[in-house]
Chain A
């Protein structure tokens, strides 16, 4: 065997060094693209490391403010959404909602489990780009109905039996892009609901078919309100593109609620290049959106829901402290249901991946039975048990957020504020507007060390 460190004459060699630019993963992707002629499609959100909630810390109470007793003093978590125009705002027990995920991308039982879990925890779940199923309507006390560019399955009856309407303009994983559902998952039932031929690679539109900008969106919202007797809260969901202006225009168009999804927010399937290279991190989106609400004197009047990489009660508390009214979870909810569980490691290995890295949801071969339309794989998933796990997880996150809020002396999680936070890195400080730990300095805003 050759000695990599010395040549035959015993003279030290230059150590073989791999490129930091052309990494093994990059080169493998070049070879894959060259072999197949198609870009990589996958599910999930951005996997790259970006400044996130982990880069913020809470200060806690001390001499200048006092904490609340953890087990004796109340810390409220209720949220009311849609107070601006809707006759029937939504009331949720916890500030964590379930994000839109389609039937088609997910199995019927998985949608049912989301409804069960959300309902047991006192929160809402959301349809997706495939219409409303009986499973989710039946098991969701509070159901948000997405109004998407594709309008698959859209009809006035479902519009009237939902509890809120979410107009999807964009999504954090792919701001400016439409959905994808590849042929393997276009089963008979999915094809019928979407009015498409079975087995095609379905590409949803990225723009709405009958309005183009905030002026005619305002009229569209008025039409939706007219059809639903002005009862339903109307959300506008945007990806993390230009959060200050997007929030401003959503308010102008008449939104009751703005849903802001950062780049860590997941998708069922889209191009990897889109997921990793378009959109801003969630942390960078919240400040500008809250600023827009405050500039228009609409903070708390129009509610802000933040999503994209929410995993723990600490993340929830941090998002709320930065000014959000609630958060939304998608990927984390799927993990709670059982997605990427090491229990299925052998099956993941057979698919050429490993638990924690599986993201080929579009192929419909999910061993956990969640992102599939295959009846055999779907049988791996128990919607009752899955719903219970989700409800447990939602409750744990809520308890964690309350723990932090009490430690900061707050009797409602909405009373958390930016002053309760510090940032661990210069980047996180600049993005969140929270001072760097140990200083009163926010990069870009002056101040002193």
Chain B
């Protein structure tokens, strides 16, 4: 285990050290202490390493992550795991706005609650939130899966494309073109796998599935009031 103390190490050095760990690295276990809410910690990683951040982080922790497994033992600021490509990001606490924004792949697990716009414009990432999510989550979500064990705020899935949304609790309101959809066996299978990988204590049958009604995919003046 390599430990980096951010009380005495500059962010640039932290990130360049972690970014230098590629597929063949021997040093696979890393720990960051005293993050003190710094921004952009462990962003742009591209190697199969485990990074544990002991404390809460600022904006864009694990941004654009590839391959790495980042575990935040605390809460995360806005844009955690934004544009993630692959790997895993686990947050023990809560996540602020835009968690997993535009993510292309990998798994983001938030064990607490996520704020507004969770999974905004997601492009293939899987997100599992053990608690609740805020308003406008999965706005313009393109693909991937968003699983919420708690409740969802207003305008869930507004203008979404082909992302799948699974919510166990209440949905305050659905956004434009987002509807409840039939839960078919393949969806239960996807859900079971994600719940297991996210260490979530819930059964797939307890969830409802939401997705795009696809009515806004092409311009139609009679749908103008939906905007």
Contact = CB atoms under 8 A, between A and B. Distances in A.
B117 interface: yes
Contact of B64 (A36, A159, A195, A211): A159
Contacts of A196: 142, 161
A38 B221 contact: yes
Contacts of A38: 219, 221
Contacts, number: 96
A205 B121 contact: yes
A395 B13 CA distance: 44
A201 B140 contact: no
A226 B140 CA distance: 27
Given A38-B219, A210-B78, A223 B63 contact: yes
Given A155-B64, A195-B143, A223-B63, A230 B217 contact: no
A226 B58 CA distance: 14
Interface stretch (B28-36, B96-104, B180-188, B203-211): B96-104
Contacts of B221: 36-38
Interface stretch (A44-52, A214-222, A301-309, A364-372): A214-222
A151 B102 contact: yes
A223 B78 contact: no
A183 B40 contact: no
Given A156-B66, A195-B143, A223-B39, A209 B117 contact: yes
A154 interface: yes
B142 A226 contact: no
Contact of A197 (B39, B78, B140, B161): B161
Nearest to A230: B12
Interface residues of A, number: 31
Contact of B63 (A183, A197, A199, A227): A227
Interface in A50-80: none
Contacts of B78: 210-211, 216
Interface in A7-39: 36-38
Nearest to B97: A210
A224 to B, nearest CB: 9
Nearest to A228: B44
Interface string B8-48: 00011001100100000000000000000001100110100
A233 B168 CA distance: 45
A425 interface: no
Given A154-B83, A195-B123, A209 B102 contact: yes
B102 A154 contact: yes
A154 B66 CA distance: 13
B71 to A, nearest CB: 20
Given A196-B142, A209-B117, A155 B85 contact: yes
Contacts of B97: 210
A185 to B, nearest CB: 13
Interface string A136-160: 0000000000000011001110010
Nearest to A151: B102
Given A156-B66, A209-B102, A226-B43, A197 B60 contact: no
B134 to A, nearest CB: 14
B11 to A, nearest CB: 7
A229 interface: yes
B222 to A, nearest CB: 8
B217 A223 contact: no
A291 B89 CA distance: 45
Contacts of A216: 59, 78
A222 B11 CA distance: 10
A346 interface: no
Contacts of A229: 16, 19
B82 interface: yes
A200 interface: yes
A200 B162 CA distance: 12
A155 B46 CA distance: 12
B64 A156 contact: yes
Contacts of B66: 156
Contact of A223 (B40, B120, B123, B222): B40
B175 to A, nearest CB: 14
20 contacts: A38-B221, A150-B121, A155-B104, A156-B46, A156-B83, A159-B64, A182-B219, A195-B143, A196-B161, A197-B161, A197-B217, A205-B140, A209-B98, A209-B101, A209-B139, A211-B79, A216-B59, A220-B79, A223-B39, A223-B60
Q: Which 10 A-B pairs have the closest CB atoms?
A: A37-B221, A227-B44, A210-B79, A223-B40, A210-B98, A151-B102, A200-B217, A156-B64, A210-B101, A223-B60
Interface of A: 36-38, 150-151, 154-156, 159, 182-183, 195-197, 199-201, 205, 209-211, 216, 219-220, 222-223, 226-230
